[in-house]
Amino acid sequence: MTPIDHAARVTDVTTEVGDATLVVANLTDLRWLTGFETSNGWAVVRHGELFVGTDGRYGDKARAETEGTGATVIVEQQAGALAARRSELAGDVAPDRTIIERRRRVKDAAEIERIEAAAACADAALAEVEPMLAEEPTELEVRAELEYRMVRHGADDRSYPTIVATGPDHGARPHHGAVRRRIVEGDTVIIDVGALVDGYHSDMTRSWVVGDASPEQRATYQLVATAQRAGLEAVGPGASSRAVDAACRDLFEQAGCLDDYVHGTGHGVGLDIHEPPFHNQSSDLTLEPGMVVTVEPGLYRGGFGGFRIEDLVLVTASGHRVLTHSPKRELN
Q: What is the pTM of this model?
A: 0.97
The answer, yes or no, to whether residue 225 has pLDDT greater than 90, is: yes
* Nearest partner of 293 among 311, 306, 317, 281, judged by Cα: 311
Average pLDDT along the chain: 97
- pLDDT tens profile 269-286: 999 999 999 999 999 999
- pLDDT tens profile 17-71: 999 999 999 999 999 999 999 999 999 999 999 999 999 999 999 999 999 999 9
The answer, yes or no, to whether residue 85 has pLDDT greater than 90, is: yes
What does the pLDDT read at residue 57?
A: 97
Task: Report the pLDDT averaged over residues 148-166.
Answer: 98
The answer, yes or no, to whether residue 332 has pLDDT greater than 90, is: no
What does the pLDDT read at residue 263?
A: 97
Q: Which domains does the chain have, with CATH numbers?
A: 6-103 (3.40.350.10), 109-322 (3.90.230.10)
- pLDDT tens profile 117-151: 999 999 999 999 999 999 999 999 999 999 999 99
Query: Of all helices (H) and strands (E), which one includes residue 21?
Result: strand 21-24
- Cα angle, residue 311 at apex, residues 261 and 131 outer, rounded to 5°: 95
The answer, yes or no, to whether residue 176 has pLDDT greater than 90, is: yes
Peptide bond into 277 cis (omega under 30): yes
- pLDDT tens profile 287-312: 999 999 999 999 999 999 999 999 99
Rounded Cα gap, residues 155 and 192, in angstroms: 16
- 43 forms bridges with which residues in the sheet? 24, 52
